[in-house]
Amino acid sequence: MAASSFDQTSALLLLPPPPSTSFEQFQQVYESLLSTVCLRLYQNLQGVNRTAILDIALALPGLHSLSRPRSQVFGSLQACLANLYRLLGVISVKKRIELDVPDGIDARIIFLDLDSVRSPPTDSSPGNSPIGPIVHLQTLARSSRLWNWIFYPDNHVGQTLATAFSSIYSQAKDPNAGDVHPISGVPKWTPSDALVTTEDTQEPISHYSVIVGGTFDHFHIGHKFLLTATALVLQPASPEQDRVLAVGVTGDDLLVNKKYAEFLESWDDRCRSVAGFLSAIMEFDPPTDSAASIKQVTRPGPNGKYMLVKVRPGLTMKLVQILDPFGPTITEENISALVVSKETRAGGTAINEERIKKGWKKLEVFEIDVLLMGGMPSQDVEDFASKLSSTEIRRRQMEMAKK
């Protein structure tokens, strides 16, 4: 599910660390680079009625201690995610580039462990590599993805990163895969070594069963941000304990009163979008005989309809049809973490109240930032908001159907 091939245009963009985690600094150092790459892909697409995949690998220092609870660095990493997805939205509006629709760009953001560039791990063989969305340089360079192009900024920090990547990629690349290309005319900057900060908690928890919920209709960058943040909470490895990333996907019956309901995607289609995206940001090992398997389950009772995706041994995605505000959070005690947005914060509080009534531990709740669009003309703000609204996407489909 995660690999790309040459029947679909695809590229990898290697991003060196930024000078700081502020959006203004992200925009200053990355906007021209990201704009150039997006325009190249977009112009290559015109008229083919397909999306172009853009994998964006943001290198960050301080990710090497993957055994520590990932929850401790959630705040820093979700802020970087928010900055990059927000910047993609800004560029899409300025350059009139469509996102996540035919003849548009399907961008996915992962984190590249910069410490693996400086000190390569002793064992990064398939099956031993960490799951995304945090990956080693070796895992990324040896993955089976057939990118048409690998781009990097043509400055000192970009050249250093590209040289390290190329030293592995040149030995492992498929003969049909693309080459590494510099993007000129980009700013010069000095990366910060203090981008990933550890949140002080009395007893940091390692989470092996996490959940997020949503409708996930007409998949867009807001969904990508939320799901990537959820994957960041999941602990990457434990020989004793399987990992489960659960996604509650609203059932069709609860959506009949939505605006433009006739243009809603089915539950199965929405689940496939979610599973495909999560596989794309989490699994980078080459395909094997034990590649991801998918199982559909329908049982009587609450939360009885679900899709199981076995990504690799010890890692399962569970996509559950939810027919109430709680879903599996009050039927599966072993779930320990919930990811919410500002809009669903109250739902997280209600869930924990119900768990307390049952004598269960509360879920640790992680909240993502809002993708804001300050400092732009009002029409551009509206254009960006429409890219984050499934309702607006359905409305546009209705208008197109009338033509």
Q: 71 versus 258: which is more confidently predicted?
A: 71
The yes-or-no verdict on residue 200 having pLDDT over 80 is no
Domains in the chain: ranges and CATH? 10-119+127-183 (3.40.50), 209-368 (3.40.50.620)
The yes-or-no verdict on residue 373 having pLDDT over 80 is no
Spatial CB neighbours of 58, under 8 Å, sequence gap ≥ 6: 15, 17, 80, 84, 109, 110, 111, 112
- How far apart, in Å, are the Cα atoms of 38 and each of 83, 98, 152, 189, 333? 17, 10, 13, 21, 44
Q: Rg of the chain's alpha carbons, rounded to an integer? A: 21
pLDDT band of residue 256 (cuts 50, 70, 90) is confident
Q: What is the pLDDT of residue 400?
A: 62
Over residues 63-91, mean pLDDT? 87
Q: What is the pLDDT of residue 61?
A: 92
Please choose, from the candidates 384, 345, 394, the residue with its C-alpha nearest in 3D space to the C-alpha of residue 88: 384
The yes-or-no verdict on residue 101 having pLDDT over 70 is yes
Over residues 366-370, mean pLDDT? 93
Over residues 259-287, mean pLDDT? 87
Over residues 225-240, mean pLDDT? 87
pLDDT band of residue 70 (cuts 50, 70, 90) is confident
To the nearest whole number, what is the mean pLDDT of the chain?
A: 87
Q: What is the pLDDT of residue 1?
A: 45
The helix (run of H) or strand (run of E) holding residue 305 is strand 305-312
Q: What is the pLDDT of residue 102?
A: 87
Please choose, from the candidates 178, 150, 140, the residue with its C-alpha nearest in 3D space to the C-alpha of residue 54: 150
The yes-or-no verdict on residue 395 having pLDDT over 80 is no
Strands 243-250 and 315-322: parallel
The yes-or-no verdict on residue 64 having pLDDT over 80 is no
CB 368 within 8 A of CB 82: yes
pLDDT band of residue 104 (cuts 50, 70, 90) is very high
pLDDT per residue as tens digits for the range 292-315: 688 999 998 889 999 999 888 889
Q: To which residue do tokens 């990629």 refer?
A: 169
Cα 306 versus chain centre, distance = 21
pLDDT band of residue 209 (cuts 50, 70, 90) is very high
d(Cα 136, Cα 116) in Å, to the nearest integer?
Answer: 6
pLDDT band of residue 60 (cuts 50, 70, 90) is very high
Q: What is the pLDDT of residue 203?
A: 77
pLDDT per residue as tens digits for the range 119-162: 776 655 545 567 889 999 999 999 888 899 999 999 999 999 99
Spatial CB neighbours of 143, under 8 Å, sequence gap ≥ 6: 3, 284, 285, 286
d(Cα 86, Cα 24) in Å, to the nearest integer?
Answer: 11
- How far apart, in Å, are the Cα atoms of 120 and each of 50, 76, 93, 135? 37, 24, 39, 12
Q: What is the pLDDT of residue 377?
A: 59
Give the pTM.
0.92
| Token pair of 279 as six digits | 């596989």
CB 319 within 8 A of CB 275: yes
Residue percentage of the chain with pLDDT more than 90: 60
Spatial CB neighbours of 334, under 8 Å, sequence gap ≥ 6: 209
CB 299 within 8 A of CB 290: no
- By three-state DSSP, how is residue 306 classified? strand
